[in-house]
């Protein structure tokens, strides 16, 4: 007997919430292993007043930033289901306030920087999460300390090998384990709170204020460790497209938030009841016979924690590819039901290698904690700043209301950012350098791509001129259809001219195909194609994709055949221009350096035939030599076949 639609919807919501536990909340769910410990390793004694002060800071950080800002406001600003800074940028870009103004350029630059820093987090989070859990072995068996790093590396290798199963498969596997993890944290924390219920007084913000006033500069150092409790916020937003807002919010309020609070307050109670003897407060909450099972569960949870930032990195990179910010990479759709679930093999390998190098270089979670959080604190400041424009331009909030709300969050964000600045001399600079490199590569790719399109535009032939030439020269036409890819608003592309010059013939039907990337995650089927008949058997075909979609040109041609473009998709020949970029020696050294970086990325990008899923037997690549143009010099003659 089939169940009613309402019951089916509730079951689906429950399953998605369970999956969100394993994919979205893994990062923020493992911070209790090390966050409070790091607060009291910064020169602050765990006296009762200090314990209550630190706990109060943690409580209000989780409440203000995660519960109020991200759950109630930021997650509402999805771009048709997709989240993350680049999705938010795409959401704001069509607004008239951004068009043609300096403000739009600033917002775009900040969004790209924030996305680059979130990618940095994809390296640090798996390393510190897994390493901190495996270090629990030293509590139960100190003689196993030398095995911590090798075990961590082995676990990371296994984690990254799992990624090809896709978010749905991993969520189904990890979700129940994460649910057990949060329940275990909550039970252990509640057990400790019952022994020292006075710790609950930390919900009073006056304890946080008193701690900040009394400790002064030391408090600023401790704030850098307190920030560890909210480091999963940006991954949470970036993973929005994997499950949607409702399952993520439900999981937070029903299980994640209560369990986190009980764990932190339980550890605080442990400090109060065992003064001067606490080393690993999280693991010491467990009875001795349960210590090894807890370590095993914590290790599984930290593996899952890494999944949150890895899947977030996949989502952000796919968005960046479609927005023209990074070179083409192979993108594998891992779910037919949820478009946001993707896997990028090349990025997976890079993240795996980087994580292993970080673990081997630092060899302890305490050393990693020094550099952890700086990148995310900057990203959160950028997200809060962009939230103001989303509230003003999209939600139509009054200026005073949007400013009041965002300034409240921004004050907290900037306080944590200032605290994390103290980490720069102690290793935080490494994260900033890594983030700056990613940012520079993304901006350089976008710059080089626009330059290339500009250079090719000078080599295109106006279509009226081409049609006159075809009529005058009576060029032979052969059966079949040919597709020539061209940039928007161009005439006959150089590849078509090159083919005509050497073959002295054209197919009966010639399709000038332009792929347009929209500022939305997905394009509705009725808006996918636009066919414009021209003359002499020529057609213009526009194929539109969102930034969360993978282009598939053969499928688009099948759809075009039903919209008046009478072609057999299996007999189409795709002519692809493969440009070889030449950097002239007289170019300014800075422009020459940028061009060389672009050329390197261009040569190593995924081939157009693979990216657009064009069958190899139907593709013909035409080599084109394109010389980069020196600023101020005419573009004429810059390209040759």
Mind spelling out the 3-state secondary structure of 94-110? CCCCCCCCHHHHHHHHH
pLDDT in tens, 468-513: 888 888 788 888 899 998 877 677 888 898 888 888 889 999 999 9
What's phi and psi for 623, nearest 5 deg?
A: -75, 135
Residue 1 pLDDT level (bands cut at 50, 70, 90) = very low
Helix (H/G/I), strand (E/B), else coil: 512: strand
Spatial neighbors of 363 by CB under 8 A, at least 6 apart, are 149
Using an 8 Å Cβ cutoff, are 41 and 366 in contact?
A: yes
| Residue in the structure block whose two tokens are 């600079």 | 429
DSSP, residue by residue, 123-190:
HHHHHHHHHHHHTTHHHH-GGGGGGHHHHHHHHHHHHHHHGGGHHHHHHHHHHHHHHHHHHHHHHHHH
**How do residues 4-20 score in pLDDT, each as one tens digit?**
446 666 777 888 888 78
Q: Averaged over 275-298, what is the pLDDT?
A: 88
Tens digit of each residue's pLDDT (9 = 90 or more) over 207-228: 999 999 998 888 988 998 899 8
What pLDDT score does 269 carry?
Answer: 96
Q: What pTM value is reported for the model?
A: 0.78
Instruction: State the DSSP H helix or E strand holding residue 529, giving kind and residue range, or none if neither.
Output: strand 529-533
Looking at residue 638, what is its pLDDT?
A: 40
Rounded Cα–Cα distance for residues 504 and 470 (Å) = 10
Structure-model confidence comparison of residues 640 and 142, the more confident one: 142
pLDDT exceeds 60 at position 630: no
Task: Say if CB 281 and CB 294 are below 8 A apart.
Answer: no
Confidence check: pLDDT of 400 > 90: yes
pLDDT at 100: 52
Contact 602, 327 (CB under 8 A): yes
Residues 6+ away with beta carbon under 8 Å from 339: 81, 241, 333, 521, 522, 548, 549
Lowest average pLDDT, out of 373-377, 392-396, 580-584, goes to 580-584
Average pLDDT over residues 399-428: 91
The full DSSP string for 297-319 is HHHHHHHHHHHHHHHHHHHHHHH
What pLDDT digit, counting tens, does each position of 101-125 carry?
A: 677 788 888 888 988 888 887 788 8
Q: Are 114 and 378 in contact (CB under 8 A)?
A: yes
Residues 541, 586 contacting (CB under 8 angstroms): no
Predicted confidence (pLDDT) at residue 42 exceeds the cutoff of 90 = no
Binned at pLDDT 50, 70 and 90, residue 150 comes out as very high
Distance from C-alpha of 73 to C-alpha of 78, rounded to nearest angstrom = 10
Please calculate the CA angle 7-11-15 and round it to the nearest 5 degrees.
170
Read off φ and ψ for residue 580, nearest 5 degrees: -110, 115
Percent of the chain at pLDDT above 90? 27
């Amino acid at each position: 007997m089939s169940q009613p639609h309402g019951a089916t919807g509730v079951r689906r919501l429950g399953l998605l919430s369970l999956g969100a536990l394993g994919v979205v909340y893994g990062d923020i769910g493992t911070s209790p292993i090390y966050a409070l410990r790091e607060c009291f390793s910064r020169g602050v004694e765990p006296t009762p007043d200090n314990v209550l002060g630190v706990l109060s800071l943690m409580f209000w950080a989780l409440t203000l930033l995660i519960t109020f800002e991200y759950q109630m406001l930021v997650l509402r600003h999805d771009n048709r289901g997709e989240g993350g800074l680049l999705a938010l940028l795409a959401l704001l870009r069509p607004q008239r306030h951004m068009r043609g103004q300096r403000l739009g350029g600033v917002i775009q630059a900040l969004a790209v920087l924030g996305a680059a820093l979130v990618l940095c987090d994809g390296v640090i989070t798996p390393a510190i999460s897994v390493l901190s859990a495996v270090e629990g072995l030293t509590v139960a068996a100190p003689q196993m300390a030398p095995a911590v790093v090798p075990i961590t590396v082995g676990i990371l290798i296994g984690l990254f090998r799992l990624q090809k199963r896709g978010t749905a498969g991993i969520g189904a596997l990890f979700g129940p384990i994460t649910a057990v993890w949060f329940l275990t944290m909550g039970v252990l924390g509640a057990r400790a709170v019952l022994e020292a219920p006075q710790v609950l007084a930390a919900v009073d913000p006056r304890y946080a204020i008193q701690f900040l006033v009394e400790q002064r500069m030391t408090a600023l150092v401790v704030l850098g460790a307190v920030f560890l409790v909210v480091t999963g916020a940006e991954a949470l937003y970036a993973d929005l497209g994997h499950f949607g807002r409702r399952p993520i919010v439900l999981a937070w309020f029903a299980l994640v938030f209560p369990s986190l609070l009980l764990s932190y307050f339980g550890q605080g109670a442990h400090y109060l009841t065992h003064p001067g003897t606490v080393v690993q407060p999280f693991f010491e909450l467990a009875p001795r016979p349960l210590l090894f099972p807890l370590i095993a569960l914590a290790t599984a949870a930290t593996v899952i924690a890494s999944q949150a930032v890895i899947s977030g990195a996949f989502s952000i990179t796919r968005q960046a590819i479609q927005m023209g910010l990074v070179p083409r990479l192979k993108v594998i759709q891992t779910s037919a039901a949820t478009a946001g679930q993707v896997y990028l093999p090349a990025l997976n390998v890079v993240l795996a290698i980087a994580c292993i190098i970080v673990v081997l270089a630092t060899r302890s979670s305490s050393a990693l904690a020094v550099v952890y959080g700086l990148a995310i604190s900057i990203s959160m400041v950028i997200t809060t700043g962009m939230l103001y424009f989303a509230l003003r331009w999209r939600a139509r909030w009054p200026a005073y209301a949007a400013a009041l709300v965002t300034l409240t969050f921004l004050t907290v964000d900037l306080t944590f950012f200032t605290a994390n600045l103290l980490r720069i001399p102690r290793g935080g600079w490494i994260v900033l350098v890594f983030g700056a490199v990613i940012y520079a590569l993304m901006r350089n790719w976008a710059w080089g791509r626009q330059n290339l399109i500009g250079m090719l535009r000078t080599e295109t032939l106006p279509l009226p001129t081409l049609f006159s030439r075809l009529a005058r020269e009576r060029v032979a036409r052969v059966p079949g259809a040919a597709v020539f890819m061209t940039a928007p608003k161009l005439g006959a592309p150089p590849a078509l001219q090159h083919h005509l010059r050497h073959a002295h013939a054209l197919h009966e039907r010639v399709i000038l195909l332009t792929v347009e990337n929209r500022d939305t995650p997905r394009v509705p089927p009725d808006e996918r194609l636009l066919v414009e008949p021209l003359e002499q058997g020529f057609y213009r075909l526009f194929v539109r994709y969102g930034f969360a979609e993978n282009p598939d040109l053969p499928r688009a041609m099948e759809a075009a055949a039903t919209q008046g473009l009478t072609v057999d998709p299996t007999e189409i020949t795709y002519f692809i221009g493969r440009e070889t970029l030449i950097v002239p020696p007289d170019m300014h050294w800075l422009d020459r350096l940028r061009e060389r970086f672009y050329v390197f990325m261009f040569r190593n990008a995924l081939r157009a035939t693979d990216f657009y899923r064009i069958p190899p037997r139907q593709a013909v690549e035409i080599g084109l030599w394109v010389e980069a143009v020196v600023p101020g010099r005419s573009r004429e003659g810059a390209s040759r076949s």
